[in-house]
């Protein structure tokens, strides 16, 4: 930017480089700003303070360095604009790259190099920043990170968002996004590696500037899978809300004097869930409200991705605080009844005690002994176990010495029984099951949000946008996902929800919204493919709506062929499987995470996963 010197105003007598001339009346006058100051050593110029980053000028602008080394700087073509600081040092206003290039040339190629500069009147720091900003924002190569730095510098000068926007002629929200980016050192660094990311996108990334792992995940998605950024961002936001609510609920119970149970599946001795306890004088399960004053009160708190809070209540030492287990009450009541009937109670692990189902009355007998048949035997006895999920007991009738009483074993097996897992393994498996079950519940919520986004705008999808070999996957579905499809037929209600169609109202198949839509002549082939995809996905998702699929173990630990196929299909569609979903087709992924597992216990990582996707 070159301007013609204006001689209307006189410069201060201390202005750098001012020349004294004589007027006709003999008085002295000074050259007015702006004026050309020739022969300046570029190293004497102060070049800090511009929002546009120069970096290593020989790497960023090698052509500029080469040009100045060969030709110098012609002020008729390009000139550096400067203004004096209060201490008299010339500060670069415009031409930071040219200044850096001139310094590099003077230090190496041409020690005698000097430059001419255009000296402007001193201005405030704010004036300079605004002037530089207006020019830099029009330059090619001015990055979003540099622009964010400009907004930050103006804010440090006391300007609010609205004023910055007015001075630079940009929207308020643009400035606010820039300030958000500038406030996150981690995001500023990442922004330099993401040249296509605008300030609004980077400001979303900056939300997780304080979380290194989440921030790194988002940067990786932006760099390699930008179409998944919004879904990943929403998932991380949900996780943060989940953790915040968990922290609040945990603190609430802590403030009320409750202890926290870290692992509900590995309780210390003496601890028991409250719904498995009762008072000493009745068999009514304890109520959390009535247990609020017990010194042993404790809770386990968990929040799922839908922000549903799950609280389990415990007593840490139920016997010391006057409680009994419901299981012990049920067992005692059953044992008392058996004794009243004349049936002795024994320990089933006592040597020689054999369950009647394993015995025949004699060698000619064909059916195992029953309790009625065995009631008169001197060895007749029983043991009682609790069945907690049915809130009842089970009686095992035995003979205490079958040989002495003439019975024979039904089976003479010589096979060695499988050794029981040690306590450490069993504790590890309980914790792994509890953790992965919760992860599966979260994954189901995340997956359904992703599917909702995937089918948004499906009617306008082009054939070129469909996944590779989608028709092959759809042809595989009736074979590999037959059970799930059969469960969903014929209504396909979940598919209707994905496609934003009305919910099926009756059993007349011809009235099903999917059938109505497919019969329309305006429904395209691409739409028909996506409708079929929604039917397959909807059937598989509907499977996990059923009451009998509440136990997530059956999905990630013991998956069906339908489940394996479904998660492979989702991966082919671009869905990023979570860790627990990846276990379905690669159980070995849990080995490193859970030390109690070994390749001998589960499928090794070298073993190919079942039902590989079509080549």
Range 355-377 burial, b when 16+ CB lie within 10 A, else e: ebeebbbeeeeeebbeeebbeeb
How is the chain split among helix, strand and coil, in percent rounded to 5? Answer: 45, 15, 40
Which residue's entry shows tokens 């504790």? 427
DSSP character for 460?
Answer: G
pLDDT digits (tens, 9 = 90+) for 488-532: 887 899 999 999 999 888 778 888 999 999 999 999 999 999 999
pLDDT tens digits for range 140-159? 778 898 889 889 989 988 89
510 and 535 in a single domain? The answer is yes
**pLDDT on residue 301:** 96
Q: Which residues pair with 22 in a beta bridge?
A: 28
Note whether residue 307 is domain-resident: yes
Lookup result for tokens 């001419």: 116
Q: Say whether both 344 and 317 belong to one domain.
A: no
527 domain residue, yes or no:
yes
Domain membership of residue 157 (yes or no) is yes
**DSSP per-residue codes, 288-349:** TTTTTT-TTEEEEEEE-TT--EEEEEEETTTTTTTEEEHHHHHHHHHHHHHHHTT--B--TT
How many CA atoms lie within 13 Å of 110's alpha carbon, on the beta-carbon side? 19
Q: What's the rounded Cα separation, in Å, for the pair 176 and 154?
A: 12
Q: Specify whether 449 is located in the same domain as 538.
A: yes
What is the average pLDDT across 131-146? 79
Q: What angle do CA 311, 316, 318 make, to 5 degrees?
A: 110
Domain extent for 278: 256-321
In a domain, 331, yes or no: no
- Is the CB of residue 58 less than 8 Å from the CB of residue 37? no
- The total domain count for the chain is 4
Q: How many other C-beta atoms lie within 10 A of the C-beta of residue 584?
A: 24
Residue 187 lies in a domain: no
Classify residue 239 by burial, with Cβ atoms within 10 Å: 0-12, 13-18, 19+: middle
Average pLDDT over residues 107-132: 86
Looking at the fold, whether 461 and 566 belong to one and the same domain comes out as yes
| Lowest model confidence (mean pLDDT) among 68-72, 198-202, 324-328, 480-484 | 68-72
Identify which has the larger pLDDT, 133 or 244: 244
End position of a domain, from candidates 267, 289, 321: 321
> Do 490 and 516 lie in a common domain?
yes
Q: What is the 3-state secondary structure (H, E, C) of 224-246?
A: HCHHHHHHHHHHHHHHHHHHHHH
pLDDT band for 20, please (50, 70, 90 cuts): very low
Same domain for 149 and 25: yes
Residue 440 and residue 362 share a domain: no
Per-chain mean pLDDT for the chain: 87
Domain boundary residue, one of 354, 377, 409: 409
Same domain? 385 vs 315: no
Q: Give dist(CA 396, CA 348) in Å, integer.
A: 8
Which residue, of 151, 179, 207, is where some domain finishes?
179
Q: Which two tokens stand for residue 449?
A: 């949000």
Number of C-beta neighbours around residue 246 at 10 A: 16
DSSP 8-state class, residue 193: T
Q: pLDDT-based confidence at 11, cuts 50/70/90? A: very low
| 128/125 Cα distance (integer angstroms) | 5
Strand partners, 277: 325
One domain, residues 24 and 138: yes
pLDDT of residue 272: 94
Say if 144 falls within a structural domain: yes
Residue 281 lies in a domain: yes
Task: Give the three-state DSSP class for 258.
Answer: coil
Q: Are residues 46 and 168 in the same domain?
A: yes
395 and 442 within one domain: no
Q: What are phi and psi of 20, to 5 degrees?
A: -90, 130
Same domain? For 283 and 341 the reply is no
Rounded to the nearest 5 degrees, what angle is found at the Cα of 541, between the Cα atoms of 493 and 230? 105
Q: Which residues pair with 359 in a beta bridge?
A: 409
pLDDT digits (tens, 9 = 90+) for 534-546: 999 999 999 988 8
Establish if 405 belongs to a structural domain. Answer: yes
């Amino acid at each position: 930017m070159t301007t013609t010197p204006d001689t209307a105003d006189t410069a201060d007598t201390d202005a750098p480089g001012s020349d004294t001339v004589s007027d006709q009346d003999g008085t002295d006058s000074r050259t007015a700003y702006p004026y050309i100051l020739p022969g300046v050593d570029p190293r004497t110029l102060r070049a800090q303070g511009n929002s546009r980053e120069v970096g290593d000028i020989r790497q960023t602008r090698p052509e500029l360095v080469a040009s100045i080394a060969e030709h110098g700087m012609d002020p008729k073509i390009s000139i550096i604009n400067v203004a004096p600081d209060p201490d008299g040092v010339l500060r670069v206003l415009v031409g930071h790259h040219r200044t850096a290039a001139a310094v590099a040339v003077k230090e190496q190629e041409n020690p005698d190099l000097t430059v001419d500069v255009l000296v402007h009147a001193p201005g405030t720091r704010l004036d300079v920043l605004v002037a530089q900003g207006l020019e830099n924002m029009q330059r090619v190569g001015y990055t979003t990170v540099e622009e964010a730095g400009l907004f930050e510098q103006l804010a440090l000068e006391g300007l609010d968002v609205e004023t910055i926007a007015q001075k630079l002629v940009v929207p308020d929200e643009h400035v606010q996004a820039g300030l958000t980016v500038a406030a996150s050192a981690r995001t500023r660094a990442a922004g330099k590696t993401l040249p296509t990311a605008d300030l609004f996108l980077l400001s979303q990334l900056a939300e997780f500037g304080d979380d290194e792992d989440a921030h790194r995940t988002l940067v990786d998605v932006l760099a390699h899978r930008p179409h998944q950024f919004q879904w990943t961002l929403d998932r991380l936001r949900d996780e943060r809300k989940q953790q915040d609510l968990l922290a609040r609920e945990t603190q609430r119970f802590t403030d009320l004097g409750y202890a926290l149970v870290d692992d509900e599946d590995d309780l210390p001795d003496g601890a028991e869930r409250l719904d498995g306890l009762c008072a000493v004088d009745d068999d009514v399960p304890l109520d959390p409200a009535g247990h609020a004053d017990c010194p042993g009160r404790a809770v386990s708190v968990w929040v799922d991705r839908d922000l549903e809070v799950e609280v389990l209540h415990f007593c840490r030492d139920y016997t010391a605080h006057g409680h009994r287990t419901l299981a012990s009450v049920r067992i005692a009541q059953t044992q008392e009844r058996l004794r009243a009937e004349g049936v002795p109670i024994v320990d089933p692990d006592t040597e020689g005690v054999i369950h009647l189902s394993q015995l025949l009355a004699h060698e000619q007998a064909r059916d195992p002994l029953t309790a009625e048949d065995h009631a008169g035997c001197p060895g007749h006895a029983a043991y009682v176990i609790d069945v907690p999920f049915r809130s009842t007991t089970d009686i095992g009738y035995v003979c205490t010495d079958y040989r002495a009483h003439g019975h024979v074993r039904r089976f003479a097996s010589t096979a060695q029984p499988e050794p029981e897992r040690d306590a450490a393994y069993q504790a590890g498996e309980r914790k792994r099951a509890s953790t992965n079950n919760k992860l599966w519940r979260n994954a189901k919520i995340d997956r359904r949000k992703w599917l909702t986004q995937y089918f948004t705008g499906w009617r306008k999808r082009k054939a070129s946008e469909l996944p590779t070999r989608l028709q092959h996957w759809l042809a595989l579905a009736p074979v590999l996902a037959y059970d799930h499809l059969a469960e969903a037929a014929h209504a396909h209600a979940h598919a209707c929800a994905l496609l934003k169609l009305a919910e099926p109202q009756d059993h007349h198949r011809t009235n099903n919204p999917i059938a109505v839509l497919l019969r329309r002549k305006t429904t395209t082939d691409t739409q028909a493919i996506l409708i079929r995809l929604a039917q397959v996905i909807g059937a598989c998702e509907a499977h996990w709506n059923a009451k009998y699929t509440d136990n997530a173990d059956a999905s990630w630990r013991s998956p069906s062929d339908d489940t394996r196929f479904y998660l492979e299909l989702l991966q082919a569609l671009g869905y990023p499987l979570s860790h627990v979903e990846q276990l379905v087709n690669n159980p070995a992924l849990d080995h490193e995470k859970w030390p109690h597992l070994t390749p001998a216990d589960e499928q090794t990582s070298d073993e190919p996963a079942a039902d590989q996707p079509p080549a």
